[in-house]
Amino acid sequence: MKMKRILIVGRGCSGKSTLAKSLGEKLQLPVYHLDQYFWKENWVPLAEEEKQKIHAELIDSYSWIIEGSTEFLEDRAKRADTFIVLDLPVWKTLPSWVRRIWKYRGVTRPDMVDGNVERMNFEYVKWQLDRKSTERKINKLKAVCPDKRMIIFKSRKAAHDFVASV
């Protein structure tokens, strides 16, 4: 099955951005990190109408890899031909977040809007500890588009091996 519109979801720090970038290079598809589109500088969110307009333009494209936010997930799912879910346990993702904060301390990550520097905060930790978040995403995708291809990775190595095999 040819992949031309790929939706990637998963817990924060599960490797969505890295997978999207690698897969985009391999398949020669444009990659969109929704965090770059849905936030202004200093973590100011865009207005819902503006986000929706941007999202509609992105998913209307002929080909794409979109990773990140679950906002408008159903619309994205209807346009995607492949769902990729990174289902890593929190004991893998939480330490990755701490390492990421250390690595990018004082600067903006490449997949973020300039001026959005990650810092330790309780809300993010609370979000990370939500054990059912990935399960809810899987269930929502299955409910919206039960017949679409869904690939679930339980490790970053499995995702890496997949990209190598494409």
Quote the pTM value.
Answer: 0.89
Q: What percent of the chain has pLDDT over 70?
A: 99
- Assigned fold of 5-165: Rossmann fold (3.40.50)
Could you read off the pLDDT of 66-105 as tens digits, one per residue?
998 888 999 999 999 999 999 999 888 878 888 888 888 8
pLDDT (tens digit, 9 = 90+) per residue, 120-149? 777 777 777 777 888 889 999 999 999 999
Report which secondary-structure segment, H or E, holds 45. strand 44-45
Residue carrying structure tokens 């992105």: 58
Each domain of the chain, given as residue ranges in start order, spans 5-165
Average pLDDT, the chain: 90
Give the tens place of pLDDT for each residue, 38-68: 988 888 889 999 999 999 999 999 999 999 8
CB 135 within 8 A of CB 67: no
Q: Which amino acid is at 138?
A: I
Q: What is the pLDDT of residue 3?
A: 92
**More confident of the two residues 118 and 146:** 146
C-alpha distances out from residue 122 to 9, 65, 88, 128, Å: 22, 30, 20, 10
Residue 137 · residue 73 · CB < 8 Å: yes
pLDDT given for residue 69 in this prediction: 84
pLDDT, position 22: 96
pLDDT interval class at 1 (50, 70, 90): low
Provide DSSP, 94-161.
HHHHHHHHHHTTTS--TTS-TT------HHHHHHHT-TTHHHHHHHHHHHH-TTSEEEEESSHHHHHH
